[in-house]
Amino acid sequence: MKKTIGLLSVCFCLAVTSASAQTTVETKTGWSQKKKATVIGAAVGAGTGAIVSDKKGKGAVIGGVVGAGAGYAYGSHRQKKHPKRVIKKKIVTQ
C-alpha cells in the first residue's frame, strides 16, 4: 500500500510539472500585409497587362511591375493601420 501511494504521488508530481511547462508565445506567422498585397498586385497587373497589350510579354512585365508597386503601397498602408493582425498565439511545450 505504501509503495502504491508513493508511486502515485511521484506520477502526480511529474504530471503537474510537465503540464505547467506549457507557455504561450506570440510569434508572427504567415505573410505580412505588404507581402500579400505586393504578390496579388503583381499577379493582377501582369494578367491585365497581358490581356490589354498587343505585345503580351512586354505588357505583362510592365503590368506586373506597376501592380506590384500599387500592391506594396496598399499593403504598407494596411499594415500601419492594423499592425496586430499578423500576430497569432501559439502554445509551445518545453
- 3-35: pLDDT as tens digits: 666 655 655 555 555 545 555 566 666 788 889
Query: Domain total for the chain?
Result: 1
Please indicate, yes or no, if residue 60 is contained in any of the structural domains: yes
**Long-range contacts of 43-51, Cβ-Cβ distance < 8 Å, separation of 24 or more:** 43/67, 44/71, 45/70, 45/71
Q: Which ranges of the chain does DSSP label H, i.e. alpha helix? A: 2-19, 33-52, 56-81
Please indicate, yes or no, if residue 58 is contained in any of the structural domains: yes
Radius of gyration over every alpha carbon of the chain, rounded to an integer in angstroms: 26
| Gap between the Cα atoms of 74 and 89, Å rounded | 26
Looking at residue 37, its pLDDT comes to 93
Please indicate, yes or no, if residue 92 is contained in any of the structural domains: yes
The residue-averaged pLDDT of 60-71 equals 95
Task: Provide CB contacts within 8 A for 54, sequence distance 6+.
Answer: none
pLDDT tens for residues 27-55? 666 788 889 999 999 999 999 999 999 99
Q: What is the rounded average pLDDT for all residues in the chain?
A: 77
Please indicate, yes or no, if residue 57 is contained in any of the structural domains: yes
Please indicate, yes or no, if residue 19 is contained in any of the structural domains: no
Please indicate, yes or no, if residue 15 is contained in any of the structural domains: no
Domain span at 90: 30-94
Please indicate, yes or no, if residue 4 is contained in any of the structural domains: no
